[in-house]
Structure 1
Amino acid sequence: MQLAIVTGASKGLGDGLVDSFLEKGIPVLGLSRSETEGRENFTSLLYDLSQSGVPLTAAEHIWQEIEKSGATQVTIVHNASVIDPIERVGKLDADRVEMAFRVNVLAPMLMTNVWLSKAKEWEGVLTIVNITSGAGSQAISGWSVYNSTKAAINMHTQVAGLELDQVNSSHRVIAYNPGVMDTGMQQTIRSSSEDAFADVGRFKELKQKGDLRAPRTVAEALVNFLLKKSVDNGRIYSVTELLEDK
């Protein structure tokens, strides 16, 4: 039996992932800070991962749901993420910086730590997917916070994967770069001022030219890949390679 868990499930890529898993007949637990549309075989859990202590509480709750479900193959997608603050260094708001690191880095790291610890005494197979970005390896003016959080999650993925391989574990931790999508995050990017984000014009042009992929397309690529292929621990996959490898 399979089960999928998706954080940030209420919109964008998260919503697309929920639909994609459900269409494959896989029940989904969706975690978000706002109510998610109800669907058959879908359970919504309300948690705000930006709040101190919440990721650990949520991780324990989710593990209880995993054990209750009887699933032996579980996929967890850390999708919840924030792009703010978009601003030059020297003008950053300290509270918004801290919130970004809580959501983008601390939450997935702390939750993964809980699950891999518990999975040592568990009969099933766990696959954890961290949603990353090309920003994790490319410096972008105005994105020092987002760049840094995604670089951190990339390294966390690579180290976790290495450590699992060292003990011949059946569990997997990978990352997935979804590229540019037509989501609320892109709207936030396009609404930035040129003073804060020098490349804002390029992102507006991507929207105007229709070069933003639909979140559902990106979600389908990941779900199809996970169901058909064995994954390499610690590897950072991109939507481009998964779409080419269909």
Structure 2
Amino acid sequence: MRYVILTGTSRGLGEAIATQLLQQGTKLISISRKQNEQLIEKAKHLHIPFDFYSFDLQEVHQIESLMENIFSNIDVKTVSSIHLVNNAGMLAPMKPIERSESEQLIANVHVNLVAPMLLSSAFMKHTKDWNVDKRIINISSGAGQKPYFGWGAYCTAKAGINMFTKCVAAEETDKGYPVKIISFAPGVVDTGMQTEIRETSKEDFIHVDRFLALKEDDHLLSPNYVAKAVIDLLETDNFQQGGVVRIDEQ
């Protein structure tokens, strides 16, 4: 059976990925602050095993214990492949760095960068001797390669996750049972995060008009469309190890 550990399933892209995985009969392990009742009901209806772990990824010092708990409940004999999708993310603070509160900056980097690094590290430690297909998908952003006024923390963290992806790929080159890893920028997806962007003042985010226009002109990608692209990365033989790819490059 395919196992997928997925963060940020309470809404948006994470919820769409989770829904499609369940429909495919995947053993889904969800890490999210809030429980998604619709996913739980869908799993019951499909008679698919579904594990939910309520966890705030800002609590980075507890991530190793979380992964110990998760892997203690996995029977390796039932695993045909195992994947980690680091999807959870946050934009705040959306304002110039000089007006950003230290707590928000710390939370942003914890959720967007430190947590995926620790989850990936634990995933690799627990599966290092498993001779199965192992993949990590880091959900990144075009903001990781382009600076945006008011997104200093978010851009920095996403740039960091891109470099982290490249470093892990370099370290896995000569492994007997290597982990495949890629960083994936999903484009502008019609989720709650986009609503948050459109509600930001121009003083804090000078590009807000562009995002308002994207919504008005119906140029946002649907979560279901992007979720399918993510799942394709879990299945494709044409995997760009260590790559930083955009959805329009697939």
Do these two structures clear the TM 0.5 threshold for a shared fold by scoring above it? Answer: yes
1:226 CA drift (Å): 2.4
CA distance, structure 1, for counterparts of residue 220 and residue 147 of structure 2: 21
Residue 51 of structure 1 corresponds to 59
Q: Which amino acid aligns with 1:3?
A: Y
Residue 143 of structure 1 corresponds to 151
Q: Deviations over 1:23-43 (max 9, x none)?
A: 222121111000112122232
CA distance, structure 1, for counterparts of residue 3 and residue 126 of structure 2: 16
Structure 2 gap ranges (5+): none
Regions of 4+ moved over 4 Å: none
1:168 CA drift (Å): 5.2
State the secondary structure of the residue aligned to 1:5: strand
State the secondary structure of the residue aligned to 2:10: coil
Residue 90 of structure 1 corresponds to 98
1:119 CA drift (Å): 1.8
Contact 1:47 1:54 survives alignment (8 Å):
no
- Farther-moved stretch of structure 1 (205-214 vs 57-66): 57-66
Contact 1:157 1:174 survives alignment (8 Å):
yes
Map 1:1-246 to 2 at 5 A.
Answer: 1-37=1-37, 38=40, 39-40=42-43, 41=48, 42-67=50-75, 70-167=78-175, 169-242=177-250
Q: Deviations over 1:183-216 (max 9, x none)?
A: 0111111111111100011101111111111111
Q: Deviations over 1:156-190 (max 9, x none)?
A: 00100111014354321111110100101111111
Structure 1 gap ranges (5+): none
CA distance, structure 2, for counterparts of residue 66 and residue 101 of structure 1: 29
CA distance, structure 2, for counterparts of residue 10 and residue 89 of structure 1: 28
Q: Which amino acid aligns with 1:29?
A: I
Equivalent residue pairs, number: 242
1:88 CA drift (Å): 0.7
CA distance, structure 2, for counterparts of residue 181 and residue 125 of structure 1: 28
Go from structure 1 to structure 2 and tell me whether the alpha carbon gap of 1:69 and 1:80 turns closer, same or farther (over 3 Å shift).
farther
- Farther-moved stretch of structure 1 (201-210 vs 169-178): 169-178
State the secondary structure of the residue aligned to 1:165: coil
CA distance, structure 2, for counterparts of residue 186 and residue 34 of structure 1: 19
1:124 CA drift (Å): 2.6
State the secondary structure of the residue aligned to 2:6: strand
Q: Which amino acid aligns with 1:236?
A: V
Contact 1:4 1:74 survives alignment (8 Å):
yes
CA distance, structure 2, for counterparts of residue 49 and residue 114 of structure 1: 14
State the secondary structure of the residue aligned to 2:53: strand
CA distance, structure 2, for counterparts of residue 196 and residue 67 of structure 1: 49
